[in-house]
A and B are shown apart, each in its own frame.
Chain A
Amino acid sequence: MLANIVIQFMNGLAGASSLFLVAAGLSIIFGVSRIVNFAHGSLYMLGVYLAYMLVEFFGRSSIFGFWGGVLMAALCVGLIGVVIEIVVLRRIYRAPELFQLLATFALVLVIKDAALYIWGAEDLVGPRAAGLRGAVEILGKRFPQYDLALIAIGPVVLGLLWLLMNRTRWGTLVRAATQDREMVGALGVNQSGLFTGVFFLGAFLAGLGGAVQLPREPAQLALDITVISDAFVVVVVGGMGSIGGAFLAALLIAQAKAFCIGIGDVSIFGTVFSFSKFTLVVEFVIMAVVLVVRPWGLLGKQQGTQRGTFMVEPPLYPLNRNFWLAVLAVVVLLGLVPFGGDGYLLVLLIDIAVFALFAVTLHFLMGPSGMVSFGHAAYFGLGCYGAALALLKLKLPMELALFAAPLAGGLGALVFGWFCVRLSGVYLAMLTLAFAQIAWSVIYQWDAFTGGSNGLVGLWPSEWLKDRTVFYAFALLLCIGGILFLWRVVHAPFGYALRAGRDSALRADAIGINVRRFQWFGFTLAGTFAGLAGGLFAFSKGSISPETLAVPRSVDGLVMVLLGGVQTLTGPVAGAAVFTWLQDSIARNTEYWRAILGLTILVIVLAFPQGIAGFTKQVATRIGVMRREAA
């Protein structure tokens, strides 16, 4: 028993090292540049792949070949980080936070397809480390030598980082910039040099974290998303920008995971609980608990306010006659499609309508309510499963089962939202991600009830909706109705109260508004309509899988909103239409649709930092001004 515990503890320590390296890099980059680098997991993935290639190149059998390959891989990733910083990020430091996020997400897409092109889709199993192939005996159990080396790497890197940050001039500048980068700039420090250096260090750490994992796990394309969500959790639990905190959190989470695997199946009151399945959620549970108890993480401090980088949103214009005429025109146009278009077009338009509603609910949170959600797919997916289970398990007719969709989405948002509104900014976003991940893994693992990874099939609409044209009209009606309702709410006192809380929580509180409660209601409202979108999605496809609430779906939503422009009301609809259409048409023609999508996003971000709708609005205003001046 004791031997088992010791071995699990050692396993935890070995797992913590690599996690710490990635998280420390992410944390340092965030601290200085205030960019949440979504592509950090991709850099880790590149570290694994490059190490695989370089170790082969230098010779896997010699000690020099292995460690030289690992170090070279980390250096290469560091240099890739430098290129990314200079080519992309440097241009958008002053753009709104969300745009930076979108840009780094575009990088995720591009890097994934680059890896697919270079190394192929097969998993690549790396060699064992030369000189450390054996195992040592601890309390009668065998423990791999290489894992002992890993255990040492974490604290060694922590020590080196501490020396770098506290004993060198460069480190002092990094710490100063983490506290107040503008003051550092005002003192005459070359900021671009500093930022590039920081990005090199962060990327190097991510690459190293990946490279040292090579003997333990194969190089594969799904690493980027799993690693980034792990690293996010570690950074948030430890406290943004705190390296020591990242180390502590990495230890905590790796230990929790190791023990969940170690405990295995336990029988409590006759029911068998599988703790090893719990590994998928344990880190998110830890994060949720830590964030509620210590909102800035274990060793983190509240971030200082940023100066001069945010954009002030223009006032909302009332929904006037022209607006309603435009809506009417769109509805009439969409109503004419079945008479001219083919069946395929109808399917695409149903998708667009569903995702437009989804994007509008997300925008309702991100725009007027000022709450960015990284896990909005949870409510979409809960809607899918709510409707599906009501149909299949409760045997409700389809019309009633569809009601279960907004109900499930809304209930989920009511529960998760209660925790989320206690935080703000990046921390809030992370907590939404955590809850989405929890919901996902419950559905993914509950085979008996939700069908597990296979999902649920046989979700067909009632007889009268079987005809595709009728279902098109039905879905369109509900989606447009939902979108218009939410827009109406934005213009109603409720929406104004949300905006008031976002603009100035201090002032809102001073005029009697309970900001948190309004945010909670707003969160629930958005979740309810996201659930409706999910229900319609389920019945339009006929089958659903846990994909409907996985991270990529949440990211799709973010991309749609940001593509359209978060500062405009109609933007998310435009973004959803363009995104869905692009995804559909590119995916049909090339294997590398992600790269094309990613490059498109990068071009848009660098060229129109206000989104598509924001850009057209700007052009329209400019033309308007010119006309007025000419008159």
Chain B
Amino acid sequence: MTVLSVSNLSKAFGGVKAVQDVAFSVAAGELLALIGPNGAGKSTCFNMLNGQLRPDSGIVNLLGRSLVGMKPRDIWRLGVGRTFQITATFNSMTVRENIQMALLSHHNALLSLWKSANEMYLDEAMVLLDRVGMADQSERPCGILAYGDIKRVELAIALANQPKLLLMDEPTAGMAPNERVNLMALTARLARQDNIAVLFTEHDMDVVFAQADRIIVLNRGRLIAEGSPMEVRANPEVQAVYLGSGVTYAGGH
């Protein structure tokens, strides 16, 4: 089943065409990696999906519903979880409270002035932390965690609204090599269990080829390849982009 479908997506900043005519789709339970060299337009593409940027043209549909022009917080309410390249968590709260925060928002319980937030959706929060392997650190302040652990907390936050789609911007940036593969393996396991579609950008090719079901490659704003890891690895244009044949910049498209 297709969860996210994108077509004709374009965005220009002044004269720079950051993303041109990009189209792809992600199915439930599938991990789709979006790769490409620096400046290829990955982040721009990503930010148009999560509502940070408004596309100049194109269609972004989540289960048949258009996301174009919606605010990030409204997109989240439709079931889109996000993790950030540079982690963003609530540092003055404990790990568990971070998850409870997302649950409170998911259950529309934020306007209460009287109940003790600390005791709400406690069990649900612990189940989520258990799933990402952070249950034993639930009472620690989020501000003092190791970086890899914060990434796991972010994953649990992203899972709190039972998302249909996970958008992960460079999920393993800044992590140690073996931690990277572990985190994405965990993500893949959870996504398949819950039938969540996952779209992630990534620089680490080990992670990409180990975990992605499918890969799309962006270069200078255009999609240049799409397929299974094997197919993408064998694609000469991709090889040229990554290894540099000299043709890329001389010849254009």
Complex contact B111–A316 (CB within 8 A): no
- A274: shortest Cβ distance to chain B, in Å? 44
With an 8 Å Cβ cutoff, the count of chain B residues facing the other chain is 41
With A315-B97, A318-B118, A504-B90: A511-B105 Cβ-Cβ less than 8 Å: yes
Which A-B residue pairs are the 5 nearest by beta carbons? A507-B88, A313-B92, A312-B143, A503-B90, A496-B117
Is B127 interfacial (CB 8 A cutoff)?
no
Is B76 interfacial (CB 8 A cutoff)?
yes
With A492-B116, A493-B120, A494-B111: A509-B73 Cβ-Cβ less than 8 Å: yes
Residues 509-538 of A at the B interface (beta carbon under 8 Å): 509-514, 518
Complex contact B105–A513 (CB within 8 A): yes
Interface-central residue, B71, B110, B161, by most chain A CB under 10 Å: B110
Complex contact B73–A510 (CB within 8 A): yes
Chain B residues lying within 8 Å of A488, measured Cβ to Cβ, are 113-114
Complex contact A491–B118 (CB within 8 A): yes
Is A495 interfacial (CB 8 A cutoff)?
yes
Chain B residues lying within 8 Å of A312, measured Cβ to Cβ, are 91-92, 141, 143-144
Residues 76-120 of B at the A interface (beta carbon under 8 Å): 76-77, 82, 84, 88-94, 97, 100-102, 104-106, 109-120
For this complex, 16 residue pairs linking A to B, each with C-beta atoms less than 8 Å apart, are A312-B91, A312-B92, A315-B94, A315-B97, A316-B93, A492-B116, A493-B115, A493-B120, A494-B112, A496-B101, A496-B104, A497-B104, A504-B89, A512-B76, A512-B77, A512-B161
Is A394 interfacial (CB 8 A cutoff)?
no
With an 8 Å Cβ cutoff, the count of chain A residues facing the other chain is 31
With A493-B112, A494-B110: A500-B90 Cβ-Cβ less than 8 Å: yes
Is A118 interfacial (CB 8 A cutoff)?
no
Is B160 interfacial (CB 8 A cutoff)?
yes
B residues sitting closer than 8 Å to A (CB atoms) are 50, 71-74, 76-77, 82, 84, 88-94, 97, 100-102, 104-106, 109-120, 141, 143-144, 157, 160-161
Bound: A494/B120 CA distance, A: 13
- 4 new A-B contacts, CB < 8 A, other than A507-B90, A512-B105, A513-B105, are A494-B110, A496-B97, A510-B50, A511-B101
- B165: shortest Cβ distance to chain A, in Å? 13
Chain A residues lying within 8 Å of B143, measured Cβ to Cβ, are 312
Bound: A33/B15 CA distance, A: 38
A interface SS class: helix
Chain B residues lying within 8 Å of A512, measured Cβ to Cβ, are 73-74, 76-77, 105-106, 161
Complex contact A509–B105 (CB within 8 A): no
Chain B residues lying within 8 Å of A376, measured Cβ to Cβ, are none
Chain B residues lying within 8 Å of A502, measured Cβ to Cβ, are 92
Complex contact A510–B82 (CB within 8 A): yes
Chain A residues lying within 8 Å of B116, measured Cβ to Cβ, are 318-319, 491-492
Q: Which of A499, A514, A518 contacts B93 (CB 8 A)?
A: A499
- A34: shortest Cβ distance to chain B, in Å? 21
Bound: A510/B116 CA distance, A: 23
Chain A residues lying within 8 Å of B90, measured Cβ to Cβ, are 499-500, 503-504, 507-508
Bound: A503/B109 CA distance, A: 19
Chain A residues lying within 8 Å of B92, measured Cβ to Cβ, are 312-316, 499, 502-503
Complex contact B157–A511 (CB within 8 A): yes
Complex contact B106–A493 (CB within 8 A): no
Bound: A495/B97 CA distance, A: 12
Bound: A108/B161 CA distance, A: 51
Complex contact A503–B93 (CB within 8 A): yes
